[in-house]
Structure 1
Amino acid sequence: MKKLIYPAAAVALLFASAFTVIRSQDWKIAEGYSIKFDGGDPSGEFGGLKGAISFDANDLANSKFSTSIDVASINTGNGMKNTHAKSEKWFDAAKYPSITFTSSSIAKTASGYAATGTLDMHGVQKPVTIPFTFDGSTFKGSFEVNRMDYNVNTAEPAHGSQKFKVDITVPVSK
């Protein structure tokens, strides 16, 4: 009888593992996140971050980011610039209320990770790669966006910088 227990247990374990779904860790966006942009003038930050983050450093194939920010949450530190940035001339918050990023793959790099996916802004979808780090409780990334690629204020190409540096810090909890 004892001779049959071990093979039966091994078969049961193998059978159970065949139906086990590997899943990345789901994270909740915590308070204190920061999405800052700097193009010289203007510069500022966005609020209204929402999304789903599924990330496991040991299971990058099943990790994914699907996030959005509320365009109307822009804050340049100047009320008139905020109104201007929300207008049709710049972001057109009424027509394009959110900026989204959806990853298609996440890879390990020498300095952390890189999320490749689609950035959808002002009705234009473009592939981007966002390098980032993760310390177990906070994602940090930095990348550059050319506003002309997204048809943001194309009527005034010389107004301010065309390229904006975007710095993202997102604390998370389980």
Structure 2
Amino acid sequence: MNYLKHPSIKNISYLLICLLAVSLLAFAAAANWKVKGNYEVKFENGAIHGTFTGLKTDIEFDKAHPEQAKISATIDASSLSTGFFIKTSHAKDAIDAEKYPTISFTSTSVSKSGNAFQAAGKLTLKGVTKPVTIHFTFDDKGNEGTFKGDFKIIPKDFNITRNGTPDNLTITLTVPVSKS
């Protein structure tokens, strides 16, 4: 009797193949990354520059399949610092950090662009949501990596019109991560 042709053996073989396929798909799924300590979120334009702290993220990303990525981040608006008390106070007033305590980004798509990536998404700042594209690289070594990127915003698009506000700002990001 040929056991491989027996119906119960065929069913078990089929089940094992299905389990193996599901296991491989689960392994190939995008990794979840969590922010490690020393990240940097900076903004600048000429004499205007500063940093933010209070970054919280939810990152699902796999370099081999960026189209499956999901990236969302929030930052504490009141953590804005220019290094000078009066400038910091004016900048917090300009973004109305008290009324709008968080700045957020949610990706709508992620794609590869040459040796780098781009995350198109929605940035919400001072209660206004606008599309932005973050251009970034991702250097990974096993269970750790670093996202580095930048994007530009036009402050008046977000109703930031205080005297002295520049026409545009560059936001730069350096975010070390580890697999969660």
TM-score between the two structures when normalised by the length of structure 2: 0.85
Aligned amino acid, residue 172 of structure 2: D
Deviation at 1:79, TM superposition (A): 0.7
CA contact (8 A) 1:39 1:160 kept: no
How many residue pairs were aligned?
A: 169
Aligned to 2:56: 50
Q: Which residue of 2 aligns with 1:151?
A: 159
Q: What corresponds to 1:140 in structure 2?
A: 148
Corresponding residue for residue 175 of structure 2: 170
Amino acid aligned to 1:40: G
- 1 or 2, which has the higher helix percentage? 2
Among candidates 100, 103, 128, match of residue 104 of structure 2: 100
Aligned counterpart, 2:68 = 62
Task: Pick one of 21, 40, 47 that aligns with 1:34.
Answer: 40
**Contact 1:107 1:113 (8 Å CA) reproduced:** yes
Task: Give distance in 2, aligned partners of 1:149 and 1:44.
Answer: 20
Residue 129 (structure 2) pairs with residue 128 (structure 1): no
Which amino acid in structure 1 is aligned with residue 152 of structure 2?
Answer: E
Select the structure of larger CA radius of gyration: 2
| Offset, 1:142 | 1.2
User: Aligned AA for 1:141?
Assistant: G
Q: Which runs of 5+ in 1 are unaligned?
A: none
- What's the CA shift string for 1:81-122, capped at 9, x where partnerless? 1111112xx010111111100001110111310001101111
SS at match of 1:82: helix
For the pair 1:91 / 2:83, whether they are aligned, the reply is no
Give the counterpart of 1:25 among 31, 45, 49: 31
Residues 14-61 of structure 1 show CA distances to partners (whole Å, capped at 9, x for unaligned) of 433369556310001011100111122321111110011111112223
Contact 1:40 1:160 in 2 (8 A): no
How far off is 1:4 after superposition?
4.2
**Percent identity of paired positions between Structure 1 and Structure 2:** 38
Shift of 1:3: 2.1
Q: Which of 15, 20, 34 lines up with 2:18 in the alignment?
A: 15
Deviation at 1:162, TM superposition (A): 1.4
